[in-house]
Amino acid sequence: MKHVFIAGDAYSTHFFEMDLESDEELSLLPSLRVASYHTARFALIMRDHGLAGIGIFPGNALLISDYSLEPIIGRPVLVRQEGQFLVRIAADVNPVECCFTTTRNEDSPLILPSENIRIVGVISGILPLEDD
C-alpha cells in the first residue's frame, strides 16, 4: 500500500484554487491508502454532482495521475486555466481549442483556447469515502 495525499476539493461546475507547487507541501496533507501499483500523484474530493452520470459523486476521492497511456477523450481530467482548476470530461482536445463537459444537461460545454489551458492530470481512480 502507498499513501496518496488529498490536495483539496474538486468541482466540475466552477473553477477552484489549489496549491500544487511541490510534492513536499503535499506530504503535509491528509492521505488515503491505495494499492502500491497505483500511479496517482494526489487525490481531490469531489464536491458537486457534475459527473454523477459517470459514477463520480460528492464525497468521492478522485485519484489524479500525471499522464495517461490511453486517449483522454471521453475521460474526466483535471484542467488548469490561469492558476485555477476544474474537473470535467475531455470532449474534444485539439491544437486550437478544447471542449470540456459534465454529465448534467444544465451545464454548458466549456470551450477554451488550447493555448490558455493545461491538462494537469487524468482521473485514474475513484474511491468512495465514508462521511467526512
Q: Can you give the pLDDT at residue 70?
A: 78
88 compared with 20, residue with greater pLDDT: 88
Q: Can you give the pLDDT at residue 24?
A: 63
Q: Is the pLDDT of residue 26 over 80?
A: no
For 116, phi then psi, to 5°, come to -100, 0
For the stretch 88-108, pLDDT in tens is 999 999 999 999 999 999 999
For the stretch 60-82, pLDDT in tens is 999 999 877 778 999 999 999 99
Q: Work out the pLDDT band at 20, boundaries 50, 70, 90.
A: low
**H helix or E strand, kind and range, residue 65:** strand 61-65
Q: Is the pLDDT of residue 132 over 70?
A: no
77 compared with 20, residue with greater pLDDT: 77
Domains observed in the chain: 2-127 (2.10.109.10)
Please indicate, yes or no, whether the overall pTM of this predicted structure exceeds 0.85: yes
Q: Is the pLDDT of residue 130 over 80?
A: no
* Per-residue buried b or exposed e for 95-118, using 16+ beta carbons within 10 Å of the residue's own CB: eeebbbbbbeeebeebeeeeeebe
